[in-house]
Structure 1
Amino acid sequence: MSAKEKAFHQLQRWIIDGTLEPGEQLFDAELSEALGISRTPVREALQLLQTQGFIETYPGRETKVTTITKEDVPKIYPPLAALQALAAEEAARKIATGDIRRLVDVNNDYRTAIGEEQLFQAMEHDEQFHDLILEIADNPYITQFSSILQLHVRRLKYVFLQQPVGSKTESVLEHERMIRAFENRDSETAAAIMRQNWLRPMQEVYEVLVRAEQDSSSQKRRISKGDNGSENRNSQ
């Protein structure tokens, strides 16, 4: 792996998992030191991250991690749901018995991780389930266009991981229904369940972000009132 690739993958991972927080300002010298590589590959990696929408660059001013807002949710999930539904439709026509067994095994691992509240491992098993379907569909265009959207969704999934386990258990059941559709070679049902599997958490993530924005606004108002009260007391 080249220095640029190393920088790109590590910075991308830090942005996705929140190590580099939304809105955080980035300095190539600091990142270079943290990664143990020179500044040139770091700058090249930042350019790639900008094209993917993970950072914003204002020449001569600043470079920062893009923020996550509720408005991003309905822009990201529906296109990905449509692509994944198409993958499920194609996979249903090609799937083999061995593929079914692999999907069952991965979904069982997903269920176990949720039951043990190993939420990050659960997310990885969920992604592995969907990656297997992309592999079975064997359509490089679907895979390519899905990949970047999935990375942005993974940022949003870190929000979803904080929700009650019951909401994630529903995803396991949807996977089971999808597997049955694959066994029956029912491409229409497989596609419909896949679409639901993406659009249901979309609404849940959206509601979480709305509550977070409301809480943040309320906190700012309380702080503002507190400051004003302090000023009033001082003036008296």
Structure 2
Amino acid sequence: MPVPKNFSSPVRMTAKERALSQIQRWIIDGTLQPGEKLIDAELAESLAVSRTPIREAFQLLEVQGLVSMYPGKETRVSNIQKSDIFHLYPTLASLHALAAEYTANNILPEQIEKLRELNIQFKKAIESGQPYQAMELDEQFHNLIIEISENPYIASFSESLQIHIRRFKYVFLKQPIKETLNSVNEHESIITALENKDVQRVSELMKQNVIRPMHELTKLLKEKENNE
């Protein structure tokens, strides 16, 4: 099980939190491949912790659906299928649309401005060819709307789905989907609908914005298969 030796370790975290954060990152970015056996002793040595926090991290990762544990036998990185895309995106779109509906009723002017600022940064990242930064800013935009909705269940389920979607992009494409200015324009329309407290309109726009990458990802995967 090849484990990187040089990586930046998060500070001010417990051993369990540090182990969880790093192993999760390695699973998402494909360093630890689907189906790969995880050896707690090797991970403990690499992360400079005991085996206990590694095992505790495994339990949390299993809850997230990132690993499969077989007590007394082994722990492996969970497999993912290309067909999962058609389950992940529609579910995420429904959650984000619901969050937008809640947010439309209680969003404040300063929060509108924060969304605008994030979208400006998002546009700059796209235009300057920084796909990873663009992906992060896009997530920040959506996460702020979820935060304003003040629904912890939406936040929890959305975070879990985002983890799997991000992993899907890295494992199958080795990079995030290249965002386009279409998404910037959709964000602007979402902001306007929120400002106007148009619940139905913002719900429709949000679903469209979240679902569109599913079609782009499907197209990219087909092109990748044809070139292999």
Question: Distance between the aligned counterparts of 1:160 and 1:208, measured in 2?
Answer: 12
CA gap 1:208/1:67 in 2 versus in 1, 3 angstroms: farther
Task: Report the number of matched residues.
Answer: 214
Question: Out of 83, 86, 106, which is 1:71 matched to?
Answer: 83
Extract structure 1 runs of 4+ deviating beyond 6 A: none
Unaligned runs of 5+ in 2: 1-12
Deviation at 1:6, TM superposition (A): 1.3
What is the aligned counterpart of 2:154 among 138, 142, 158? Answer: 142
Q: Which of 60-69 and 106-115 deviates more?
A: 60-69
User: Structure 2 vs 1, CA of residues 60 and 207 (structure 1 numbering), >3 Å: closer, same or farther?
Assistant: farther
Structure 1 residue identity aligned to 2:113: R
Closer/same/farther in 2, CA of residues 189 and 200 from structure 1, 3 Å limit: same
Q: Pick from 114, 119, 124: which aligns with 2:126?
A: 114
**Residue identity matched to 2:55:** R
Provide the rounded CA distance (Å) in 2 between the counterparts of 1:211 and 1:57.
Answer: 34
Alpha-carbon offset, residue 107 of structure 1? 0.6
SS of aligned partner of 2:31 = coil
Q: Distance in 2 between matches of 1:16 and 1:35?
A: 17
**Counterpart of 2:208?**
196
- Selected match of 1:44 from 56, 60, 64: 56
SS in 2 for 1:64: strand
Distance 1:66 1:206, change over 3 A: farther
- RMSD of aligned residue pairs (Cα, Å): 2.0
> How far is the alpha carbon of 1:133 from its aligned partner?
0.3
Cα distance in structure 1, aligned partners of 2:80 and 2:121? 30
Once the two structures are aligned, what percentage of the paired residues are identical?
51
Letter in 2 for 1:196: Q
Supply the AA of the counterpart residue of 1:7.
A
* Structure 1 residue 160 displacement after superposition: 8.6
Higher helix share: 1
Larger radius of gyration, structure 1 or 2?
1
The TM-score, its normalising length taken from structure 2, stands at 0.86
Bigger drift between 78-87 and 144-153 goes to 144-153
TM-score by length of 1: 0.83
Q: Give 1:100 shift.
A: 0.9
Q: CA deviation at 1:156?
A: 2.7
Distance in 1 (CA, whole Å) between partners of 2:184 and 2:46 is 38
Letter in 2 for 1:63: T
The SS at the match of 2:180 is helix
Q: From 20, 34, 40, give the equivalent of 1:28.
A: 40
Residues 10 and 102 (structure 1), Cα distance of their counterparts in 2 relative to 1, 3 Å cut: same
Give the Cα separation in 2 of the matches to 1:58 and 1:211.
36
Give the deviation of 1:176 after TM superposition: 0.9
Aligned-residue offset at 1:55:
1.3
Alignment-derived partner of residue 99 in structure 2? 87
Q: Which residue of 2 aligns with 1:19?
A: 31
Q: Which residue identity does 1:42 align to in structure 2?
A: I
Task: Say if 2:58 is the partner of 1:7.
Answer: no
**Equivalent-residue separation in structure 1 for 2:214 and 2:186 (angstroms):** 15
Q: Is the 8 A contact 1:70 1:210 kept in 2?
A: no
1: CA distance between counterparts of 2:169 and 2:186?
17
What is the rounded CA distance, in whole Å, between the counterparts of 2:200 and 2:175 in structure 1? 29
Gaps of 5+ in 1: 217-236
Q: Distance in 2 between matches of 1:206 and 1:11?
A: 27
Q: Does structure 1 retain, via aligned residues, the 8 Å contact 2:132–2:176? A: no
Q: Distance in 2 between matches of 1:162 and 1:205?
A: 10
